[in-house]
Amino acid sequence: MMLNKLTIKQAQEKLETGDISSVDLTRACLDRIKKVDDKVKACLTVCEKEALAEAKKADERRANGEKSGLLGIPYIAKDNIMTKDVRTTAASKILENYIAPFDATIIKKLRTAGAVLLGKSNLDEFAHGASTENSAFGATHNPWDLERVPGGSSGGSAAAVAADMCLFALGTDTGGSIRCPASFCGVTGLKPTYGLASRFGLIAMTSSTDVPGALAKTVEDAKIVMDAIVGIDKNDATTVNARELSSGCALKGKKIGIPKEYFNEGLDIDVKKLVMQAVEKYEKQGVEIIDVSLPHNKYSVGVYYIITPSEISSNLARFDGIRYGFSDKESKELIDIYKKSRGKGFGPEAKRRIMLGTYALSAGYFDAYYLKAQKVRTIIKEEFDRVLSEVDCVITPTSPHTAFKIGEQSSDPLKMYLEDIYVSGASLAGLPAISIPVGFSKGLPAGMQIIGKRFAESALYNIGSAFQNATDYHRQKPELK
């Protein structure tokens, strides 16, 4: 078996027995990147020299008796996560040549664990999108069909895992940005509970929903990654020293809710069939299936796209052409520096969201839009809490369809925003959710979303792993040569 195709768990075992070294594993991933990334375009930066040096250090640490779940394991980080002395662009022209001066907390934790950073992955500019077409450096292609999108905004990370360029990747999820690409690329993607992992060192998008998470080949691998990066951080006041809620390992007696609002008109018939077949598998394993209702979820996209642009307009104000990033040095007046630097540096989607957010926060519209959206958000949260007090988790499709073709929806922003219909609700409520491969429709992978109680990631691992132990969808790979 080619080393880059290994799961984290498989690689751990081979590293511990001495069958392979981290240098071997890292070289295999770097060779794979060289072979296929000109087609997939998942990576914005590759750190070959640095990665091999880190791999050598990991082998030395292991030789000295050190053991760690991620020691010597190669990974790729989404390029809106700060990595010291490595270019960090957020896929924007305004940060095209920006070298991060420090590591994000999650990167620091991975370095401590001995994981090996291979490079940085492509994304929608500042994580604004659901297809990775909004990158200033070109679109990423889905390894299952190079004419299709990988999903977004963590599309580069998902595509890299699907194409076996790394053993896992880091992404960020604000309203589905890990789960959507996980579904389109046929990999596992976890959005943890808000506050479980530090946001310090993430280039901010929507502060009240943004979370870092893992894209991996299996649920088991996602858990290994998350165990390494979670925890309280003095640099992030939103992190909590949470005691994880455990629901045990046995499936028999578990209760899974099926919200009828997620299976209505607009859902592809093949995707619906695949998810319901998965539900039947759970039922055969002794799980009680309960019909539930989340009637206000239909407002989640509308709420999300008022709150998100509002926070974006505030967070992106720091990119002013003065402190860091691109600056239009030809301008002599301060206001012209602001206008021209931001005008040339930001792409169309970033500008659209800044304008929408500024409008929603402006005098006369704040109460009508932003305040009302926050009130509906509270209703959505309470509705999820009520349902999850009756069941262990909720199962839904991740996306209403499989991956669409590049350029097919890019001229219709509203249609693109509706891509988040099944994933934005959990984000607004701060809940953990995982997307796992549930099967294929016309040769393209589809995803199933499992949403759980806050800080009950263990239930998602348990229920997700049970499905993967009974199926092989997650083991199937695109024929990318």
Active site residues: 78, 153, 177
- CB-based contacts of 55, cutoff 8 Å, min separation 6: 21, 22, 23, 25, 26, 72, 74, 116
**What burial class does residue 253 get, using C-beta atoms within 10 Å of its C-beta: 0-12 exposed, 13-18 middle, 19+ buried?**
exposed
- CB-based contacts of 469, cutoff 8 Å, min separation 6: none
* Long-range contacts, 138-142 (Cβ 8 Å, 24+): 138/41, 139/41, 139/406, 140/40, 140/41, 140/42, 141/39, 141/40, 141/41, 141/406, 142/184, 142/185, 142/403
Tell me the C-alpha distance between 393 and 218, whole Å.
19
- CB-based contacts of 356, cutoff 8 Å, min separation 6: 305, 306, 309, 313
Q: How far is CA 84 from CA 57, 94, 101, in A?
A: 18, 18, 5
C-alpha 8 chain-centroid distance: 18
Phi, psi dihedral angles at 292 (to 5 degrees): -130, 170
Tell me the C-alpha distance between 400 and 280, whole Å.
20
C-alpha 447 chain-centroid distance: 14
Task: Write the single-letter amino acid at 137.
Answer: F
SS3 content of the chain, % helix, strand, coil (to 5): 45, 15, 40
Residue 32 and residue 4 in contact, taking contact as beta carbons nearer than 8 Å = yes
Token duo for residue 243: 């005691």
Tell me the C-alpha distance between 289 and 223, whole Å.
25
Q: How far is CA 185 from CA 295, 296, 423, 437, in A?
A: 29, 29, 16, 9
